[in-house]
Chains A and B, each alone.
Chain A
Amino acid sequence: MDDYLLISYVPLYLVLVPMLAGIILYFFPENQMLVRKAGCFFASLFSLAGVIWLLPTILEGNVYCYLIEFMQFGLFFKVDIISWVFAVLITLVYFLAVLFSFSYMSYEHNLRRYYSFLIFTLGAILGVVFAGDYFSLFIFFEIMTFSSFVLVIHKQDREAMQAGSLYLYMAIMGGLALLFAILLLYGCTGHLDMVPALEALGNQRFAVLLLFMIGFGIKAGLVPLHIWLPLAHPVAPSPASALLSGIMIKAGAYGILRISLILFRPAGEGSVSDWSFIFNSGYILMWIGIVTMLAGALMALLQSNTKRILAYSSISQMGYIATGLGVAVFMGLEGAMGFTGSLYHIANHAVFKAGLFSMIGIVYMLTHELDLSRLGGMARKMPLVTITFIIAALGIAGIPGFNGFASKTLIHDSMLVAYTNLDIYGIFVAERIFVIASALTICYFVKLFYGVFLGRVPEKLDRNYSLPLSANFVMVVFAVLVLITGIFPNLLLEQFFIPGAQLLGFSDSSLGHLYGFGFFEWYPLRKMLVVILLALFIYLPASARGWFDWSPPPWFSIQKLVFQPLPQLILSFFFREVNINDMALGQFYEHVDNDNAKRESYLDELETFPDPAHDEAGQSAYYMSGKGLDRDRRLKEQFKSFFWWDQEQWTIKNLNFDNLLLAFVLGVILLIVFSFGN
């Protein structure tokens, strides 16, 4: 199906219409809200309809669209079934988020900016998944970073600005890593198409892979590059949080998918060293996923802010996706199950996480509370939110009958298959951690649900709430999507995910297992039962003893131990040296230029009285050294006051960072060493 070329400008329109809508809507006056809402509504509806309209064409073959000479190197769109799956998720969730914004944002300020950037970002994200080469992908990736920044800092208070700047700088660093990787790739292969190119990369394969992983990993929130995510996602307005968590981090996952399963594949048969490189990279990716999964779940358990629990939960779920991809990579051509599992989980996570953020957003909209200790009893006040929340939470917990079950089962089974086939003890350990992380997922959702919806209603919040219609509609749609996918798990799998796997060239035997996969047989159900029992086993004693309220000491976190001091050290050294050199240079010239008159008088004195001249010289040396010290001191002060990487600025409240995380990173390193040693 790869040979069949279809040239169509539909992808271009799908990218351009939301972007242009964003730009045009910005120029409408502030008070014309109806035009603005209608513009956003129709632009997102247009994208959704356009993507769905593409489906019959996509099932026949890939759609191509060239814009030659545009930006000198040409933009190139290529839509295959994998891009299409992402695109339909993006547009669907976007459409619902736009609807949700109508009710949620009605009490907010600066709506002109919000709606313009909201709809503009849609075009950028679609550009990322439609991009047919790495150049176009990079361009849309950067545009997405900058336009979503405006959504993150919408509140503009101190907390939002700090989270936003951390997000922005990390994203820029990621973008530069990406650019470097793309340039290196271009240098090695001479083109930027998304085709297997492992042989051509030669010695630079490791550097290119690392840079790509940094670039996409920052967006995807993989440990240890996740530090911006739990800060940035909660501060955005809830519809934007839903998009950030549901959709935008998937752009990172999409990138990882494209490079790990397409770029880093041998074009032909591939030599032994090629396959061992692939195996190692996949194995490491799986472990990154496992660590991310566990760390995110543990951190989510320890939070008391509702939106932050969801943000950490997003990190954890990205871990599932990365694990599945890792398994798919190191299984080589047999990895169809891991791949379909993580693609499935991407779809599921987009739906339930966007839904959960919307539901928590409604609670926040009506109560203006995010803290678990000050919420409670909302089940009586908002029954519909409660029901939809339960459905979405059961989805994320992986309970049979809800959508997360299918994807988690697939990822879990792929690990078991890998263990049976390869017999590597590390995979067995990873599978155990997977089970624990799944149990922890249930625990923190029980905690979240209990804190928000059960218990006594605080006096302050004891009033009647009326929910806007559009918000109700959005929640119900999310819940229905979770349920339909959960009850018919094989539908999406066979329609979209298996063709996607076929596109990547997985072997027929590994694909064959997936047709008619028995999700509701005893074996996967039993596994889930174990997880639920384990969750109860953890939750009951831990909540009784208040372990979930424990917060790690502030210094013991990845951010405090690595991200803060290291760049500070390097940069401060660098700038100090450079500044001193620059100033010394300036001083040198000043002395050469300016003090000629003084020097002449010195010369006179030197001729007549040698001794005073010596004194003068001594004095001026003393003066110079004093001046130098003074300059040095002033420089230090200047540097301290203007340097953005300031200690003070970075201490953000409610940031209790993973102390357990470090222990696990260490453990993982040991495990990797251990398993490679075998």
Chain B
Amino acid sequence: MDEATAITIILFVILFPIVMTPILMSVSGRSEKLRNILAVLTSAITFIMVLTLYPMVVRGDIIQHTFFEILPNLEISIRLDVLNFSLTALASFIWFLCAIYSLDYMAEEHGGSRYYPVLIFTLGSCLGIFLAGDFFTLFVFFELMSLISYILVVHEETEQALKAGYKYLVMTIIGGLALFFGIIITFELGGTVSLGVGTIIEEGSLLAFLAFICFIIGFGMKAGMFPLHVWLPDAHPVAPSPASALLSGVMLKTGAYGLFRVIFNAFSIEVMQTSNWDIVLGVLAVITILLGSAVALTQNDIKRRLAYSSVGQMGYVLLGLSILNENALTGAMFHIFSHAFMKSCLFLAAGAIIWKTGKRAISDLGGIGREMPFTMGCFSIAALAMIGIPPLNGFLSKWTLGLGALDANATIYVLVLLISSLLNALYYLPIIVPAFFEIVGEEHHGHALQFKVQDATPKMLASMIILAICTIIFGLSPINIPFNLSQMTSDFLLQGGLF
């Protein structure tokens, strides 16, 4: 595949969902079925097109293409390397599954004609963030995605949803402004904001530190980093479950991706380490991990608990980013993959339970595992992966992160990871264990239990089961594409991340 074809594909991947949005809108007036099929098809085609780029990326090719300049040195451009390919593939895959899941989940909901176009538009803008070639383009798509996903957050239109949505919106705007400020400072100091030039700011001055803080606020807000996580546990649970899965599974990762780019393209490892900015990130990451896990323990709403768990898990990625060595970066990158599979699966399963039984409180979920064995089975696998039980993928990412922390002689980070694992166990096992083993109602010893199995629909189950299988395979299998991509990414970033 030559470069021109690749650029066309990248452009297609970004623009196709965006172009499909008005089409979906116009179709939805005539036929709901056609609209739904089109939405799934769009995400499927996007995913397949992303996959066609895989051989090129594995070969080590890098594409950096500028379309035009708005101002001198401020351009609209795209970029493809192994880092953003990984995230693009991940995002479009999860999107595809969530679109399938939505078919049944949203069938009885209101506002389907709003939901599907927005879902697809968000896909386009999210891929735009990942494939952007400079910070300015990234910023444009970042704001686009943040604002559009507001519609997903407030979809239910309840008072609670509107309130959470308002909080989300205000925080997003604060984050966006901070990001914009950071980009301006970077432009001022380095004369460019392109991702193709390697290190933009080469030494840590006060102004550069200000830029770093602005980036941290902007991207950290999106990634749910302490103390900017407050919107997350409100906004994620109120959205419809497939949207929650996307918000937690994929959209949080845009923040982490941004920080990757900031650390390796706006600055460099040397700047980070000589100016001790990695310690700032490390401290924030530790607080985020412990806070997210600890607060999750006290939640009784299942989706809120999952949302707080997301906060904690994103802390792992930030921790890997603050350690900045090969194993830690591999771990951080692989945890992005792992967390996307695990958390999407958990949210989809929780959504299926709420959809089927209407139960949201964890204390009511006793015995649900026998009514919905497959849903709860997927939930359990993903939750065990979250705790870090071998041989699931969560264990692999924790192990790799732990090795990275030890390479950096930071035993305390390992301890934090293990404490967080314990807390994960403490808040996931009280969901799983009663769900399967608690006896609800009357039962006589020695008699087989009769349960009415009423599981979720096949389409919903299919997406959950695929995600659950992913958590198993990507922990166990010797041919582990996400892990290889993570290793390639960390090698690539440590070698300078340009060419």
Give bound CA distance, A109 to B475, whole Å: 34
> What residues on A are CB-neighbors of B387 within 8 Å?
172
> What residues on A are CB-neighbors of B425 within 8 Å?
169, 172
Give bound CA distance, A481 to B499, whole Å: 71
**What residue in chain B is nearest A175 (Cβ atoms)?**
B389
Task: Select which of A143, A180, A579 is within 8 A of B390 by beta carbon.
Answer: A143
Q: When the two chains form their complex, are residues A578 and B449 in contact, meaning their CB atoms are under 8 A apart? A: no
Give bound CA distance, A161 to B432, whole Å: 13
> What residues on B are CB-neighbors of A72 within 8 Å?
396, 400, 478, 480, 483
Flag whether A34 is at the interface (Cβ < 8 A): no
Task: Select which of A146, A184, A589, A643 is within 8 A of B384 by beta carbon.
Answer: A146
> What residues on B are CB-neighbors of A510 within 8 Å?
none
A112-152 vs B: 1/0 string, CB under 8 Å? 00000000000000000000000000110011001000000
> What residues on A are CB-neighbors of B477 within 8 Å?
70
Give bound CA distance, A514 to B450, whole Å: 59
Task: Select which of B291, B300, B390, B478 is within 8 A of A582 by beta carbon.
Answer: B291
B360 to chain A, nearest CB (A): 14
Q: How many A-B residue pairs have CB under 8 A?
A: 126
Flag whether B385 is at the interface (Cβ < 8 A): no
Task: Select which of A70, A142, A184, A582 is within 8 A of B411 by beta carbon.
Answer: A184
User: Do A589 and B418 form a contact, CB below 8 Å, given A71-B475, A138-B390, A169-B426?
Assistant: no
Give bound CA distance, A229 to B475, whole Å: 31
> What residues on A are CB-neighbors of B479 within 8 Å?
69
Task: Select which of B418, B422, B439 is within 8 A of A156 by beta carbon.
Answer: B439
**What residue in chain B is nearest A70 (Cβ atoms)?**
B478
> What residues on B are CB-neighbors of A621 within 8 Å?
none
Scan residues 146-178 of chain A and give those whose CB is less than 8 A from a CB of chain B.
Answer: 146, 153, 155-157, 161, 164-165, 168-169, 172-173, 176
Flag whether B446 is at the interface (Cβ < 8 A): yes
Q: When the two chains form their complex, are residues B418 and A161 in contact, meaning their CB atoms are under 8 A apart? A: no
User: Do A579 and B294 form a contact, CB below 8 Å, given A71-B390, A109-B446, A168-B433?
Assistant: yes
Flag whether B399 is at the interface (Cβ < 8 A): yes
Q: When the two chains form their complex, are residues B426 and A183 in contact, meaning their CB atoms are under 8 A apart? A: no
Q: When the two chains form their complex, are residues A186 and B403 in contact, meaning their CB atoms are under 8 A apart? A: yes
Q: When the two chains form their complex, are residues A142 and B389 in contact, meaning their CB atoms are under 8 A apart? A: yes
Scan residues 460-499 of chain B and give those whose CB is less than 8 A from a CB of chain A.
Answer: 475-480, 483
Q: When the two chains form their complex, are residues B449 and A110 in contact, meaning their CB atoms are under 8 A apart? A: yes
**What residue in chain B is nearest A135 (Cβ atoms)?**
B399
Q: When the two chains form their complex, are residues B170 and A109 in contact, meaning their CB atoms are under 8 A apart? A: no
Task: Select which of A110, A139, A156, A186 is within 8 A of B406 by beta carbon.
Answer: A186
> What residues on B are CB-neighbors of A187 within 8 Å?
403, 406-407, 411
Q: When the two chains form their complex, are residues B396 and A71 in contact, meaning their CB atoms are under 8 A apart? A: yes
A68, A183, A639 — most chain B CB neighbours (10 Å): A183
Flag whether A108 is at the interface (Cβ < 8 A): yes
Scan residues 273-322 of chain B and give those whose CB is less than 8 A from a CB of chain A.
Answer: 290-291, 294-295, 297-300
Flag whether B458 is at the interface (Cβ < 8 A): no
Give bound CA distance, A585 to B438, whole Å: 37
Flag whether B445 is at the interface (Cβ < 8 A): yes
Flag whether A590 is at the interface (Cβ < 8 A): yes
Give bound CA distance, A142 to B170, whole Å: 44
Flag whether B167 is at the interface (Cβ < 8 A): yes
> What residues on B are CB-neighbors of A110 within 8 Å?
448-449
Flag whether A638 is at the interface (Cβ < 8 A): yes
Q: When the two chains form their complex, are residues B445 and A109 in contact, meaning their CB atoms are under 8 A apart? A: yes
B171, B403, B418, B447 — most chain A CB neighbours (10 Å): B418
Q: When the two chains form their complex, are residues A109 and B421 in contact, meaning their CB atoms are under 8 A apart? A: no
Flag whether A575 is at the interface (Cβ < 8 A): yes
B402 to chain A, nearest CB (A): 5
User: Do A176 and B418 form a contact, CB below 8 Å, given A139-B391, A586-B230, A590-B167?
Assistant: yes
Q: When the two chains form their complex, are residues A578 and B294 in contact, meaning their CB atoms are under 8 A apart? A: yes
**What residue in chain A is nearest B444 (Cβ atoms)?**
A109
Flag whether B429 is at the interface (Cβ < 8 A): yes
Give bound CA distance, A110 to B400, whole Å: 39
A205-241 vs B: 1/0 string, CB under 8 Å? 0000000000000000000000000000000000000
> What residues on A are CB-neighbors of B421 within 8 Å?
176
Flag whether A107 is at the interface (Cβ < 8 A): yes
> What residues on A are CB-neighbors of B478 within 8 Å?
67-72
**What residue in chain B is nearest A157 (Cβ atoms)?**
B439
> What residues on B are CB-neighbors of A184 within 8 Å?
406, 411, 414
Q: When the two chains form their complex, are residues A578 and B295 in contact, meaning their CB atoms are under 8 A apart? A: yes
**What residue in chain B is nearest A139 (Cβ atoms)?**
B390
> What residues on A are CB-neighbors of B230 within 8 Å?
582, 585-586, 589
Flag whether A30 is at the interface (Cβ < 8 A): yes
Task: Select which of B166, B400, B422 is within 8 A of A593 by beta carbon.
Answer: B166
B286 to chain A, nearest CB (A): 12
User: Do A165 and B433 form a contact, CB below 8 Å, given A109-B449, A187-B407, A589-B171?
Assistant: yes
User: Do A161 and B290 form a contact, CB below 8 Å, given A586-B230, A589-B230?
Assistant: no
> What residues on A are CB-neighbors of B414 within 8 Å?
180, 183-184
Flag whether B22 is at the interface (Cβ < 8 A): no
Give bound CA distance, A165 to B436, whole Å: 13
Flag whether B191 is at the interface (Cβ < 8 A): no
Scan residues 391-405 of chain B and give those whose CB is less than 8 A from a CB of chain A.
Answer: 391, 396, 399-400, 402-403
Task: Select which of B406, B429, B433, B483 is within 8 A of A183 by beta carbon.
Answer: B406
> What residues on A are CB-neighbors of B402 within 8 Å?
179, 183
Flag whether A522 is at the interface (Cβ < 8 A): no
A169, A581, A582 — most chain B CB neighbours (10 Å): A582
> What residues on A are CB-neighbors of B475 within 8 Å?
71
Q: When the two chains form their complex, are residues B298 and A579 in contact, meaning their CB atoms are under 8 A apart? A: yes
User: Do A156 and B295 form a contact, CB below 8 Å, given A68-B478, A187-B406, A589-B230?
Assistant: no
Flag whether A644 is at the interface (Cβ < 8 A): yes
> What residues on A are CB-neighbors of B68 within 8 Å?
none
> What residues on B are CB-neighbors of A138 within 8 Å?
390
Q: When the two chains form their complex, are residues B291 and A179 in contact, meaning their CB atoms are under 8 A apart? A: no
B119 to chain A, nearest CB (A): 27
> What residues on B are CB-neighbors of A68 within 8 Å?
478
Flag whether B111 is at the interface (Cβ < 8 A): no
B367 to chain A, nearest CB (A): 10
Give bound CA distance, A165 to B437, whole Å: 11
> What residues on B are CB-neighbors of A589 within 8 Å?
167, 171, 230-231
Flag whether B37 is at the interface (Cβ < 8 A): no
Q: When the two chains form their complex, are residues B407 and A644 in contact, meaning their CB atoms are under 8 A apart? A: no
**What residue in chain A is nearest B297 (Cβ atoms)?**
A575
A219 to chain B, nearest CB (A): 16
B472 to chain A, nearest CB (A): 11
Give bound CA distance, A183 to B291, whole Å: 24
Q: When the two chains form their complex, are residues A593 and B396 in contact, meaning their CB atoms are under 8 A apart? A: no
Q: When the two chains form their complex, are residues B171 and A142 in contact, meaning their CB atoms are under 8 A apart? A: no
Flag whether B430 is at the interface (Cβ < 8 A): yes
Give bound CA distance, A259 to B418, whole Å: 21
User: Do A585 and B449 form a contact, CB below 8 Å, given A176-B421, A183-B414?
Assistant: no
Q: When the two chains form their complex, are residues A593 and B295 in contact, meaning their CB atoms are under 8 A apart? A: no
**What residue in chain B is nearest A106 (Cβ atoms)?**
B446
Give bound CA distance, A68 to B480, whole Å: 13
Give bound CA distance, A155 to B437, whole Å: 9
Give bound CA distance, A255 to B405, whole Å: 26
Q: When the two chains form their complex, are residues A593 and B476 in contact, meaning their CB atoms are under 8 A apart? A: no
Q: When the two chains form their complex, are residues B422 and A176 in contact, meaning their CB atoms are under 8 A apart? A: yes
Flag whether A73 is at the interface (Cβ < 8 A): yes
Query: A142-B389, A183-B402, A593-B166 are known contacts; what are 16 more A-B pairs with Cβ within 8 Å?
Result: A30-B448, A67-B478, A68-B478, A69-B479, A71-B391, A71-B396, A71-B476, A109-B448, A139-B390, A157-B439, A183-B414, A575-B298, A593-B171, A594-B166, A638-B298, A643-B297
Give the top 7 A-B pairs by smallest Cβ distance, nearest first: A187-B406, A69-B478, A139-B390, A578-B294, A593-B170, A176-B418, A183-B402
Give 7 CB contacts A-B under 8 Å.
A71-B476, A72-B396, A146-B384, A156-B439, A169-B425, A578-B291, A582-B230
Q: Which residues of A contact B (CB under 8 A)?
A: 30, 67-73, 107-110, 138-139, 142-143, 146, 153, 155-157, 161, 164-165, 168-169, 172-173, 176, 179-180, 183-184, 186-187, 574-575, 578-579, 581-582, 585-586, 589-590, 593-594, 638-639, 642-644
